[in-house]
Amino acid sequence: MDMNSIAKYLYEIGQLKRVKRSGWWMAGITNPESVAEHSFRTAILGYILASLEGADPMKTAMMCLFHDTGEARINDLHRTAKRYLQVGNGEERALSEQVERLPPSIAENVVTLFRDYEERASLEGQLAHDADLIECLIQAREYQMQGYADAQDWITNCYAGLQTDVAKNMAEACLHVEPSSWWQGLKIK
């Protein structure tokens, strides 16, 4: 086992903390969330959705954690940019090359999770994809509350892409609950 190669992989994954989710620039957000921030909440959402649906929450959360790791190499491309670039399987290729630094059994598991996510080959893959959309919807709501009206486009499109009933129900709740309501009533009196 080559720990130096694994260390290089870990430093590369750290790059996701600096890669910004570029689509938000289209809505005027000057300092959008990073891919790592997005993936973290997506994994929490995936775990919750799978638990509610009776699917494997660990598998779903792991798909969510790894679904955008290729963006450490290719960056996050928003949909307008993808209109002009041939991205094809670039993210999968980047991920496949990244995991060459890992022991073969770990690399194989990561690639399998990524492919299941991309193909939505299992209920967990579908739930992970829905978690990705709900996370974007929630982030759009938070940006909307900060005054970015164009975030509505993300809310509309993400909601329209949801496939599972549990995800649609979760999204409905997120649309009706105010983003700042979580802390109300928690202040020390």
CATH code of the domain in which 169 resides: 1.10.3210.10
**Cβ-contact 96, 104 below 8 angstroms:** no
Considering the chain, what percentage of its residues have pLDDT values greater than 70?
A: 98
Structure tokens at 87: 């991205």
Give pTM, 2 decimals: 0.94
For 139, other C-beta atoms within 10 Å of its C-beta total 23
Torsional class of 102: left (φ above 0), alpha (ψ -120 to 50), beta (otherwise): beta
In a domain, 148, yes or no: yes
Question: What is the chain's pLDDT, residue by residue, as a tens digit (189 residues)?
Answer: 799 999 999 999 999 999 999 999 989 999 999 999 999 999 999 999 999 999 999 999 999 999 999 999 988 877 777 677 776 688 889 999 999 999 999 999 999 999 999 999 999 999 999 999 999 999 999 999 999 999 999 999 999 999 999 999 999 999 999 999 999 989 887
Is 186 within a domain? no
The residue range of the domain holding 15 is 3-178
Assigned domain for 20 exists: yes
Instruction: Determine, yes or no, domain membership for 189.
Output: no
pLDDT in tens, 104-157: 999 999 999 999 999 999 999 999 999 999 999 999 999 999 999 999 999 999
In a 3-state reduction of DSSP, which class is residue 54?
A: coil
CA distances from 163 to 56, 80, 155, 169, 171 (A): 17, 23, 15, 11, 11
- Compute CA distances 54 → 38, 58, 170, whole Å: 24, 12, 15
Residue type, 176: H
183 occurs within a structural domain: no
Between CA 148 and CA 121 the distance in angstroms is: 36
The Cα–Cα gap between 46 and 169 comes to: 14
Asked whether 102 and 112 are in contact (CB, 8 A), the reply is no
Quick check: is 185 in a domain?
no
Provide the token pair at 134.
Answer: 């709900």
Domains of the chain: total? 1
* Distance between CA atoms of residues 90 and 67, nearest Å: 13
Contact (CB, 8 A) for 9 and 100: no
